Structure 1
């Protein structure tokens, strides 16, 4: 993968650097906050080689890359300087709901910390293993130094959150960090030795332990962001360098100690108590529900929102019960990758299944499985839900707890759970169940037997007929051209699949076979039809016509509709589209090319009429 080239393409397709407010990344995703989401071409991004999926949710425009995300991020940041960019939120800023904004702040603040969370969590897991094996004593200096490496990020979490939250709001990260540091400063923490409270100018100040706390900083920095912007409006520019930090610290540190900090701590405790109560009331049912729906939470990119609750649970010293109930979902995804690897004969799919399974086992990252296999073969989604729900119910019944923070499930993070054996049992239930389903029932709706042959067939003819052939008829009137002549690299390179293209002379697109409408788009310029035998035909009218936003197109069917060969799918204005400067070359490709033994072009280049033979697809059963 050419990371530099991919980075430039992504930046261009999200609307250029001037459309980017901020950019962070997690283990697999680039997380953009855009000034205007409509300026981004999500459809073309998803068709770009190296991009697994585009997810718009939680106030973010998320581009899923996979394991190479950090390298792509470096090149994009080099182009736009987003790590240090203080982008203004002008009038063009994307309007989002309050809920989306909250999720955006939580996700954008925690995502940059996930790598260090994972590293520190592994250090703590390593210490647990070494101590249990008797290779290191808990009172030794070696243990203390390693413990410092594992505990530092969690103990000083308010400072680190100050930095990341401030970057989301585009305010001074160092002032925000100083607010968090004040809660851990020795003079302040020493006040706790005198009793349960103290005072500031006669105002009572509750004394609480803010180490590892999360919610106080989200509230404090959110208010600080409002204060900083206000101060910059009323203070002369020449005085802002020292006046804004001075006034901010004088106001925010006492306010945080008196009101925001205690309120944030209590909010975190209340949420944790509520969630834990529901889980403890019936851990089996709670596990089954959480396990079954967790895939969709991850799919929407909202999964980091539970991290503050997990951190709050761990801060109590009693462990966390949430992560063990979520872990089987990851194990089930790995199981599906393994099952598809064992089932398929397609070399590319086998390589994908094997590599993503290995990556999941070693790193705990399952998004490549999610977007590369599960969403591609939606039959496996049913397997995932069932296997996840069963495994999570088992974890709930066995009472497993997380004792050292880690959000990823891999062979290296297993010791962070207790009892370890019970945790592994729940994971194995999900993994094995998810792996068995594809082996028994296939991984795609196209996994069917060939059409039955007549009993009177000659044996040789019966053997030949086992190679079922599907004919894709021309959906258009016009002129046939080779796919390599399409002025769109996604199609001409056959990244979307093998096929052919037509330059239409009439504005009517017909169904090329019997089947169901599998995919439609809001701009009505493209549509896919899936036949009963699994052949999926994508028809994309014109080049870059998504930019027309539906002008000159009239879609006659909806996603899920049953259609017959020759039914009208879309009508479009040929002259109107050309007048706006767009070419009408229409690629017609088989998006699941890898499932078939051979795809042949049945039509010669030149004129073609609707419903003439266009492509012939052979599948070896």
Structure 2
């Protein structure tokens, strides 16, 4: 796959660089902040290779990719002219908030998601390290008294202990205030000397005002509230401080004022809010924990679908600082395993080779890594009934987990690999409950998926390469009638144009030139990309010679020779447009070898094009192949290949 080309296609599909305010990404999706989402084409984006789906959420245009999202992000940023969402002068989302462009919930969700998304790799890495620290003593590899164990524990604890510092940085980016000063304020809140005062539990006063003693390490809500207030304090200070002393006075006053507010006013309010949230969650779990867990596990795929699972993460982190998590992480265990099992069932039972490949990879991602977007967008949501099966399995498993009060002792994305997060000294029963929940969710989802079934289209097999007779100048098989009683694609050894009644017939169009095959949506021209002229594909040619893709008639040779119209013996009308906007070259780089009305055989030379001259003149050599009478057929699909020769089918016409 040419990721640079895919990156250009994505940028074009979302409205071009000029429509992109900024871009960031999380574990599985690209998160665009667009100036106008109406300019983005969901259909065009979904047609791009590697894209699993699109979601509009909280002011973000989210493109779901899966585990390889980092590669897509890097290639998009390499195009230049696009701002990263975590840079100083990025996202105008906070400005939109003040202007009332989004509702209150979207504003809150956007803020939390923007601050939390960049932290996810650190939290996942730290969480998995904590899982290892739990596991090693249990299997008698390390003693809890060893220095190695203690250092590994530091590795795992660091991302969580310094969570206020990291959140200070990302929140400062969001609100466009000084990141360094925000980090300093977070440092004040978790300074060792201040924590020593907290641990001493003796009254503390600052300029005569009593200080409420809280341990802010690993906290979430207090620092977010502090940086939100900092936005207004910093703006006010910039207005009143004379420019002549601003470089000295601004940081001095900002540290003093924000430090005072953090320890005396805002920090305590945030801590009380976190404790209140924790108490509310614990109350719900103590009264109707079985119901809360069941609902959370059942609807987790829908939460993931909206991208809100990471936006909720800091809330549940705040609620579970002092106690193990007995809601979100157990619910994710049931949901993640159910998604993986449903995808595995589809992979095993399907007769569609492409579906098997997608579902197989998605099941591995969900079961081993806990990343369910590939499963959700590539399989379960796509075929609906596997999604219902996984939600039912998750809900029933959640009911069991709620009854037994399953707890997670480390923050890691639940999966087979991260299962030790449910281990704890003295609570072996908890781990057994986790194993039971895993098996329940897997078995129920797998069986229910097979029982409910799905419809992923007819059986497909790899299409053999065309048998070339070009050396003997005999006509090669061009448009074989691939007829099957159930609409399947099979290989035919004749070039008959007969179509049996009531049976689907598949025709092949071969590549007219050697090169790279791309989807129609990837063609950098709206007329072709949006299918205005018909369905088809594009080829980036690597050879100057263009050949007939089937047996037929030359309907048109344009006077400028940049395009040829053909009609097959079976009625397919095909436009071969060599390059984009090459009509302006007035025929100079082209040499036609056929004329209007000529009958041609597949493999016969149609046109020579000087690709170097075309590129030197500043034109794109991408060559669209358009079935201009697409509406006359049931479907026009593109081959999965990326590199093609004149012996490879590129389009299938049903």
What TM-score, normalized by structure 1, do the two folds share?
0.72
Q: Report the alpha carbon displacement of residue 337 of structure 1 after superposing the two structures with TM.
A: 0.7
Q: Report the alpha carbon displacement of residue 114 of structure 1 after superposing the two structures with TM.
A: 1.0
- Give the equivalent residue in structure 1 for 2:364: 358
- Give the equivalent residue in structure 1 for 2:420: 415
- Is 1:24 the counterpart of 2:29 in the alignment? no
Contact kept, 8 Å, 2:335 with 2:394, in 1: the verdict is: yes
Which whole-Å CA distance do the structure 2 matches of 1:389 and 1:30 have between them? Answer: 29
- Give the equivalent residue in structure 2 for 1:431: 442
Question: Structure 1's 322 and 501: CA in aligned 2 closer, same or farther, altered over 3 A?
Answer: closer
Query: Which stretches in structure 1 are left out of the alignment for 5+ residues?
Result: 449-463, 474-480, 494-499, 505-582, 595-614
SS of residue paired to 1:403: coil
**What is the aligned counterpart of 2:348 among 342, 345, 349?**
342
- Give the equivalent residue in structure 1 for 2:520: 489
- Give the equivalent residue in structure 2 for 1:87: 90
SS of residue paired to 1:305: coil
Deviations 1:78-105 (A, max 9, x none): 4224143513736898811121111111
Deviations 1:224-264 (A, max 9, x none): 12333344455566755444333221211110100111111
- Give the equivalent residue in structure 1 for 2:41: 41
Which whole-Å CA distance do the structure 2 matches of 1:279 and 1:312 have between them? Answer: 16
Question: Structure 1's 247 and 415: CA in aligned 2 closer, same or farther, altered over 3 A?
Answer: same
- Is 1:149 the counterpart of 2:152 in the alignment? no
Which whole-Å CA distance do the structure 2 matches of 1:586 and 1:101 have between them? Answer: 47
- Is 1:332 the counterpart of 2:338 in the alignment? yes
**What is the aligned counterpart of 2:183 among 177, 185, 189?**
177
SS of residue paired to 1:55: strand
**Which deviates further from its counterpart, 13-22 or 484-493?**
484-493
Deviations 1:66-89 (A, max 9, x none): 111112222333422414351373
Q: Report the alpha carbon displacement of residue 25 of structure 1 after superposing the two structures with TM.
A: 1.4
Deviations 1:176-232 (A, max 9, x none): 111111111123223225535422222221011111000001111111123333444
- Is 1:282 the counterpart of 2:288 in the alignment? yes
Q: Report the alpha carbon displacement of residue 336 of structure 1 after superposing the two structures with TM.
A: 0.9
Which whole-Å CA distance do the structure 2 matches of 1:339 and 1:88 have between them? Answer: 42
Contact kept, 8 Å, 1:336 with 1:384, in 2: the verdict is: yes
- Give the equivalent residue in structure 2 for 1:441: 452
Question: Structure 1's 347 and 263: CA in aligned 2 closer, same or farther, altered over 3 A?
Answer: same
Contact kept, 8 Å, 2:347 with 2:360, in 1: the verdict is: yes
Deviations 1:115-156 (A, max 9, x none): 111111111111111111222111221111111101111111
Deviations 1:494-516 (A, max 9, x none): xxxxxx99779xxxxxxxxxxxx
Which whole-Å CA distance do the structure 2 matches of 1:586 and 1:487 have between them? Answer: 20
Question: Structure 1's 193 and 343: CA in aligned 2 closer, same or farther, altered over 3 A?
Answer: closer
Q: Report the alpha carbon displacement of residue 157 of structure 1 after superposing the two structures with TM.
A: 0.9
Question: Structure 1's 250 and 46: CA in aligned 2 closer, same or farther, altered over 3 A?
Answer: same
- Give the equivalent residue in structure 2 for 1:393: 399
- Is 1:72 the counterpart of 2:45 in the alignment? no
Which whole-Å CA distance do the structure 2 matches of 1:471 and 1:268 have between them? Answer: 64
**What is the aligned counterpart of 2:259 among 243, 253, 256?**
253
Question: Structure 1's 155 and 149: CA in aligned 2 closer, same or farther, altered over 3 A?
Answer: same
Deviations 1:508-528 (A, max 9, x none): xxxxxxxxxxxxxxxxxxxxx
Q: Report the alpha carbon displacement of residue 466 of structure 1 after superposing the two structures with TM.
A: 6.4
Contact kept, 8 Å, 2:333 with 2:438, in 1: the verdict is: yes
**Which deviates further from its counterpart, 212-221 or 183-192?**
183-192
Question: Structure 1's 293 and 447: CA in aligned 2 closer, same or farther, altered over 3 A?
Answer: farther
Which whole-Å CA distance do the structure 2 matches of 1:127 and 1:239 have between them? Answer: 51
Which whole-Å CA distance do the structure 2 matches of 1:193 and 1:67 have between them? Answer: 43
Query: Which stretches in structure 2 are left out of the alignment for 5+ residues?
Result: 424-429, 460-483, 489-500, 525-530, 536-625, 639-651
**What is the aligned counterpart of 2:381 among 352, 375, 381?**
375
**Which deviates further from its counterpart, 391-400 or 9-18?**
9-18
Number of aligned residues:
492
Superposed structure 1 runs of 4+ greater than 4 Å apart: 90-94, 233-242, 445-448, 464-473, 481-488, 500-504, 583-594
Which whole-Å CA distance do the structure 2 matches of 1:398 and 1:240 have between them? Answer: 60
Q: Report the alpha carbon displacement of residue 362 of structure 1 after superposing the two structures with TM.
A: 2.2
Q: Report the alpha carbon displacement of residue 470 of structure 1 after superposing the two structures with TM.
A: 6.0
SS of residue paired to 1:402: coil
Q: Report the alpha carbon displacement of residue 278 of structure 1 after superposing the two structures with TM.
A: 1.4
Q: Report the alpha carbon displacement of residue 447 of structure 1 after superposing the two structures with TM.
A: 9.4
Deviations 1:272-329 (A, max 9, x none): 2212221221232222211121111111111123212332243214444331123211
- Is 1:219 the counterpart of 2:225 in the alignment? yes
Which whole-Å CA distance do the structure 1 matches of 2:295 and 2:144 have between them? Answer: 39
